[in-house]
A and B are shown apart, each in its own frame.
Chain A
Amino acid sequence: MIFIGERINTGFKDVKAAVTNKDADVLKEWAVKQTKAGATYLDVNLGAVSSKPEDLCWMIEQVQAASDLPISIDTNKPSMLKEAVPLCKKPPLINSTTAVDEKMEVMFPIVAQAGASIIGLVMDEEGSPKSADKRVENAGKLLAKAMEFGINPEQLFLDPIVMPLKYMQEQAREILGAANQFKLFSDPPPHIVCGLSNISNGTTKKKLINRTFAVMLVANGLDAVICDVTDQDLVDALLTAELVMNKQIYADGFIEAFRS
């Protein structure tokens, strides 16, 4: 399972204040905490705090000073990426592009040149799809376009776009159905990722809903997740789901081994 730690995001108050005041310690602490929890990538999101590329670059530098993990650069602005990508010590994951031609044509060359990976959201000009079929159609567009630019399926993370359960209850099944079809695209297949916490937006049982939906997604091919990696119950459930799907070989100490 590829765990993308979501916590270094100015959507969180402490990170927002840290970026505004250039307080590196908060970022470093989250970098260390998520690394220890078993993250594979650390997502770095400047959000709406600033539009200056140097602010995003500053965040990445602080995170890299505290952790050896590769960065997931959370921006869809090419101007930001052009500054941020060369700073990354390891090939980053770019988060994200949509299936809109003009967008892909700008983003994919950056990915190809850096040997990076990219998250492809299955939305197009019409916005987020409502059906599984439309999601699959857009995913196909993303994969075909990526390959035109010499990007391998393993460098593409398809995101079926998770919708809040509370407000769009009929969507969860469409998302699961779509993910299930993404893995049939190629061999090896592209990765399947999601921003997990969307599912529990506005609910009072966030962790339980996140965890339950995550396990159902793994059963449908999910192999990467943007989530709170410090949520041990969630991580344990995902590791177990991978065993159930025979993606990992069982050993009595499989949880301990992940944390050692």
Chain B
Amino acid sequence: MQIPEVIEKWTAPINTVTIGATKDQGGTRAKTVTVGGQTTLPFLTFEGELPHKPVIAGFVADTPPDWPDVLKQAIGKEIESPTEWAQKCVQEYKVDLINLKLIGAAPAGKDASPEACAKVVEEVLKAVDVPLILWGCGDDEKDNLVLPDCSQAAKGENCLLGSAKETNYRTVVAICKSDKHKIIAEAPVDINIGKQVNILLQDAGFDLKDVVMFQTTAALGYGFDYVYTILERARIAGLKGDKLMACPQLCDVGGEVWRIKEAVVDEDVLPGWGKLAKRGPMWEATCASVYLQAGADILIMAHPEAIKNVQATIEQFA
């Protein structure tokens, strides 16, 4: 008896998004990074095309984040300088791109000026030649001032800029169109809002083929399964032909994991949980690897050991 073919055939591919611009393309990057283009679910190489491997963006900030010592020590003194930190990410950790967060702009923190932030962007662009993901500080009002300057400083570099939400999408569309950047569309762990933000971006005249979706990110133990199912459901909808859901997806694993107690406190507080120096990076690597299964295309990661581990996973499966 002939066994029928049971492989799934999907209707439409996921969009292909390229980040970064070389000299020929009007930028100064040595190479570009392309994600998306899949015609099936992650790692099912027997079922469809998976033309671009998931990539890792090294977490870099203009000012050292409020992280546990195990992470700060693993990165080293370079964490004090965004340019040196970025260089270390590229040269030592071999990340595909740099994720620069301008957390120093936060009004409750250093309250760095838009000009100072733009200068950091310029310096990081000079220090490394990989493509950049750019974020403000997360404070909407301040980001409305910071993002235009930073976008301008990276004009023509085809960065991935974050993030467009229901509240600020018009500003982000305007600056990304004029400075030629791609957009991160953000929703608060809500697939319906995720789709709505994409509808708004499209209505504002921004091509969804230049968009990466970001459903925020949850660390394992903190709503991880919600984000996982959203990523998966969005990916399936995209493959089934929903053009509004056919964007590559981003997860900020490093930014989330190092805030939770399992990755912050050691055995003295959590007896029986094992050494933090091992547990922390393990927590990050586990979250990242599982998000790959859900349909993440870009992972933002922080700990060098976690990065190494996930790079090996990608090599093995993709």
Contacts and interface: CB of A to CB of B under 8 A. Distances in A.
A250 B192 contact: yes
B75 interface: no
Nearest to B202: A260
Interface stretch (A65-73, A158-166, A199-207, A251-259): A251-259
Interface string A229-256: 0000000000000000000111111101
A253 B199 contact: yes
B245 A257 contact: no
Interface residues of A, number: 12
Contacts of B203: 253, 256, 260
B170 interface: no
A37 B29 CA distance: 43
Contacts of B245: 249
A188 interface: yes
Given A188-B9, A257-B244, A249 B199 contact: no
Interface centre among B195, B198, B200 (most CB of A within 10 A): B195
Interface of A is mostly: loop
B interface majority secondary structure: helix
A252 B192 contact: yes
A253 B200 contact: yes
B191 interface: yes
B199 A251 contact: yes
B237 to A, nearest CB: 5
A251 B244 contact: yes
Nearest to B230: A249
Contacts of A248: 237, 242
Interface string B181-210: 000000000011101101110110000000
Contacts of B200: 253
A249 B195 contact: yes
A252 B244 CA distance: 13
Nearest to A248: B242
- Pick the 6 closest A-B CB pairs, nearest first: A251-B195, A253-B199, A251-B196, A257-B199, A250-B192, A252-B196
Interface of A: 154, 188, 248-254, 256-257, 260
Interface of B: 9, 191-193, 195-196, 198-200, 202-203, 233-234, 237, 242, 244-245
Given A248-B242, A252-B192, 10 more contacts: A249-B237, A249-B242, A249-B245, A251-B193, A251-B195, A251-B199, A253-B199, A257-B195, A257-B202, A260-B199
